[in-house]
Structure 1
């Protein structure tokens, strides 16, 4: 089972190694937009939207990796004071009864919008923008699947590596 968890981790690690470059690209494009606007008087709606697309992709596709490296936001008030076994129980409960159901619900309720967007190849957010809102909306199910895969990996580790902790 640990091999399965390692393979699931590999999906988010591999994706993170690719999309981390979006942060640099996003900064460079934003810098070019500012220079273009204030130095040369040139403006591009598509360039501005590209920053939105990169920002969205960066955060939505990196969420699973963030969960993997334990850099997500914890709201557990008593978690730090619990024993390792207690922390494991809280994590298992959180994955099974909070994270997985919420990702499943988000995936279920967003899918019709994503499907409809693809069926009409939904156009730009603004006149002159990027004609690919359907790609932007596709980040929602991708986010759900990546987080659910990482949650499954962490659950496997919590349940099968508990003797090692």
Structure 2
């Protein structure tokens, strides 16, 4: 069980680090968008590359940060049953949700987008705008990163739930787990 605890903590730590890192894109995105507006309406200068960079940052923030959001229960959920459930029932619901909903959807998205991303890389696809960002293939690759990080965090959630059911870890607060001595 020690390996499962270590694996769960590794997955949580990975998505925690990634989430805190990509969160800075929100600040950079706001500054960039503000700069685009000021440059255009005050100085009469427009930059397609700057405008497209806002789209890239927005995509990176939400797609790469999805695992972090799952780690912190930030996703929208219909919690008719979940809200009032005991810790053990929540663990069962989480395992069911990961195994029968989250992982199949992540696999479906990854499988259906693999060819799309591959084709983009094969031609090193860029912006349709001449002065745009010529790295659309990187933006499309974020779909696969999204699937991987979200599925990985789903596995971490399933491990946490399994360990709670086995009595190996006890949740003391929202996301703090302590091993049972």
The question of a shared fold, defined as TM-score above 0.5 by the shorter chain, is answered with yes
| TM norm structure 1 | 0.95
CA distance in 2, matches of 1:134, 1:146: 19
Q: Which has the higher helix share?
A: 1
Match of 1:134 in 2: 137
The answer to whether the Cα contact below 8 Å between 1:125 and 1:133 also exists between their aligned partners in 2 is no
Select the residue among 69, 72, 76 that pairs with 1:69. 72
Please list the CA deviations of residues 97-130 of structure 1 after superposition, one character each: whole Å capped at 9, or x if unmatched: 0000000000000000001100100010434211
Residue 37 of structure 2: aligned partner? 34
- The DSSP-based 3-state class of the residue aligned with 2:65 is helix
Gaps of 5+ in 1: none
Quote the residue 1:18 is aligned against: 21
Report the TM-score when normalising by structure 2: 0.87
Is the partner of 1:161 in helix, strand or coil?
Answer: helix
CA contact (8 A) 2:88 2:164 kept: no
Higher mean displacement: 144-153 or 10-19:
10-19
Provide the C-alpha distance between the structure 2 equivalents of 1:24 and 1:106, rounded to a whole number of angstroms.
29
Unaligned 5+ segments in structure 2 are 172-181
Please say if 1:84 is aligned against 2:93.
no
* Number of residue-to-residue matches in the alignment: 165
Which segment drifts farther, 54-63 or 87-96?
87-96
- Distance in 2 between residues matched to 1:77 and 1:125, nearest whole Å: 46
The answer to whether structure 1 residue 104 and structure 2 residue 107 are counterparts is yes
Q: CA RMSD in A?
A: 1.2
| Structure showing greater relative contact order (alpha-carbon pairs closer than 8 Å, 6 or more residues apart) | 1
Counterpart for residue 96 of structure 2: 93
Runs (4+) off by over 6 Å: none
Q: 1:53 aligns with which of 52, 56, 60?
A: 56
